[in-house]
């Protein structure tokens, strides 16, 4: 009887442990809609998650970056401008530490959207990338029209960016890093000025990459 | 015997005077340094980073002790009026503009500079308010 009991406990804890290991997944953030449909006479419910709307911007190498170019990558998005005196340098420094961890892994990409397209021309963005020590195509610094960038910040990434003459730099924006999966769904948001949260982002990137790895198996 | 006692009392008094003067100076230094740390976080840390490491080749680090020593009399001016000339720090050229921080009082500049010239591996002692005031009169 005693043996049976301990066996039961052991197998239960093993199951629990196994469950934990295989089902570590990131939540899917944003709005969701459900749609009911009939399949072979049975009612099924489909869930539609909020995704990043289609976009097309130019990066520091004058290459077009759109939904298609990120098909096989997860990516981290943020909003910045090169002459920003407030939170941007800290954000760039923290993003740089994430970039350095995944440098060379094309499954992880970075999109930094400039919210000051008047000043941040392609050569300005290129110089900024170079001086930051960013090479290659993994990290794109994006130029788009002001409205399209502000729009995707608000409606796509649940971020905000707007002009405000009262603050240094003339544009205010939130400092979030947004983690987006291969299906363009938002899987995490992290304060880009906070070292601890940036560490959480790194952990979550690993978890997300693992989701794809175990799905492949 | 009496001579030795008197001598040792005299010596003790001298040593005591020396140390009390020294600790007054060092108390002032400690106060400037810790106030300077808070001012640094508010006014400088966003760009030069909390550890003074700067950002790539965009924002210079504050670890170039030789630069800080050679340009000691210009540091207050650089903070107050910003910088648009290029400078060389640790052998690397930096060309980006540094914004001006015109609103800082002389005493805050003294505290800030005491912090900067003694943190991040620097060790250059108290930067007094009189030194700041003198240097500010000579800004170009």
Residues B100 and A196: their CA atoms lie apart, in Å, by 30
Ligand-binding site membership of A19 (annotated)? no
pLDDT for position A160? 63
Q: How many angstroms away from the CA of B76 is the closest CA of chain A?
A: 19
pLDDT for position A9? 58
A35 vs A160, more confident? A35
Q: Are A89 and B58 a contacting pair at CB < 8 A?
A: yes
**Residues B46, A86 contacting (CB under 8 angstroms):** yes
Domain ranges of chain A: 55-216
pLDDT for position A91? 93
Which one, of B115, B110, B111, lies nearest residue B130 by Cα? Answer: B110
- Quick one: CA dihedral B130, B136, B137, B140, positive or negative? positive
What token pair was written down for A31? 């709005």
Residues A121 and B135: their CA atoms lie apart, in Å, by 39
Contact list in B for residue A92 (CB cut-off 8 A) is 55-56, 58
The CB-based long-range contact list for A53-58 (8 Å cut-off, 24+ gap) reads A53/A152, A53/A155, A53/A156, A55/A144, A55/A148, A55/A152, A55/A156, A56/A144, A57/A113, A57/A140, A57/A142, A57/A143, A57/A144, A57/A148, A57/A149, A58/A122, A58/A142, A58/A143, A58/A144
pLDDT for position A112? 96
Q: How many angstroms away from the CA of A133 is the closest CA of chain B?
A: 6
In tens, the pLDDT along B84-138 reads 989 999 999 999 889 998 899 999 999 999 999 999 999 999 999 999 999 999 8
Q: How many angstroms away from the CA of A174 is the closest CA of chain B?
A: 15
Residues A85 and A23: their CA atoms lie apart, in Å, by 42
Q: Are B47 and A92 a contacting pair at CB < 8 A?
A: no
Domains of chain B, start order: 26-136 (1.10.760.10)
pLDDT for position A23? 59
CA A22 from chain center: how many Å? Answer: 23
Q: Which residues is A44 bridged to in the sheet?
A: A37
Interface test with B, best of A89, A91, A126, A130 (most B CBs within 10 A): A89
Helix (H) or strand (E) holding A92: helix A88-102
- Chain B's closest residue to A169, CA to CA, is B99
Give residue A8's pLDDT band: very low, low, confident or very high (50, 70, 90). low
In tens, the pLDDT along A147-201 reads 999 889 988 887 766 666 666 666 666 789 999 999 999 999 999 999 999 999 9
How long, in residues, is chain A? 217
- Chain A's closest residue to B42, CA to CA, is A86
**Residues A191, A172 contacting (CB under 8 angstroms):** no
Contact list in B for residue A128 (CB cut-off 8 A) is 58
Q: Are B58 and A168 a contacting pair at CB < 8 A?
A: no
pLDDT for position B18? 65
pLDDT above 90 (res A111): yes
**Residues A81, A169 contacting (CB under 8 angstroms):** yes
- Per DSSP (E only), the strands in chain A are 32-39, 42-49, 56-58, 64-66, 74-80, 108-114, 139-142, 161-163, 171-173, 176-180, 186-191
Contact list in A for residue B99 (CB cut-off 8 A) is 85, 168
What is A55-216's CATH topology? Glutaredoxin (3.40.30)
CA angle B82, B86, B91 (to 5 degrees): 120
pLDDT for position A15? 52
pLDDT above 80 (res B19): no
Residues B63 and B3: their CA atoms lie apart, in Å, by 53
- Per DSSP (E only), the strands in B7-139 are 87-89, 92-94
What token pair was written down for B114? 């005491």
């Amino acid at each position: 009887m005693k043996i049976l009991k301990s066996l039961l406990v052991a197998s239960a804890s093993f199951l629990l442990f196994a469950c934990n290991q295989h089902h570590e997944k990131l939540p899917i953030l944003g709005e969701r809609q459900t749609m009911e449909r009939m399949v072979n006479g049975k009612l099924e419910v489909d869930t539609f998650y909020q995704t990043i709307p289609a976009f097309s911007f130019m990066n520091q190498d004058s290459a077009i970056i759109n939904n298609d170019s990120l098909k096989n990558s997860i990516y981290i998005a943020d909003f910045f401008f090169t002459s920003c005196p407030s939170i941007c340098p800290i954000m760039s420094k923290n993003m740089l530490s994430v970039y350095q961890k995944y440098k060379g892994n094309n499954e992880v990409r970075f999109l930094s959207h400039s919210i000051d397209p008047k000043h941040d021309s392609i050569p300005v963005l290129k110089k900024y990338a170079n001086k930051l020590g960013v090479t290659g195509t993994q990290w794109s610094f994006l130029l788009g029209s002001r409205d399209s960038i502000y729009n995707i910040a608000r409606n796509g990434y649940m971020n905000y960016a707007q002009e405000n003459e009262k603050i240094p730099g003339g544009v205010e924006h939130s400092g979030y890093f947004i983690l987006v999966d291969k299906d363009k769904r938002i899987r995490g948001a992290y304060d880009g000025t906070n070292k601890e949260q940036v560490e959480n982002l790194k952990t979550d990137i690993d978890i997300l990459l693992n989701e794809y790895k175990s799905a492949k198996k | 015997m009496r001579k030795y006692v008197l001598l040792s009392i005299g010596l003790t008094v001298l040593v005591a005077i020396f140390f009390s003067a020294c600790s007054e100076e060092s108390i002032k230094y400690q106060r400037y340094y810790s106030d300077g740390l808070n001012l640094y976080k508010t006014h400088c840390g966003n760009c030069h980073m909390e550890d003074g490491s700067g950002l790539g080749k965009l924002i210079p680090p504050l670890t170039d002790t030789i630069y800080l020593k050679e340009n000691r009399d210009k540091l207050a001016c650089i903070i107050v009026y910003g910088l648009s000339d290029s400078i060389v720090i640790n052998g690397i050229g930096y060309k980006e503009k540094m914004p001006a921080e015109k609103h800082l009082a002389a005493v805050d500049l003294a505290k800030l500079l005491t912090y900067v010239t003694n943190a991040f591996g620097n060790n250059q002692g108290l930067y007094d308010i009189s030194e700041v005031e003198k240097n500010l009169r000579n800004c170009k």
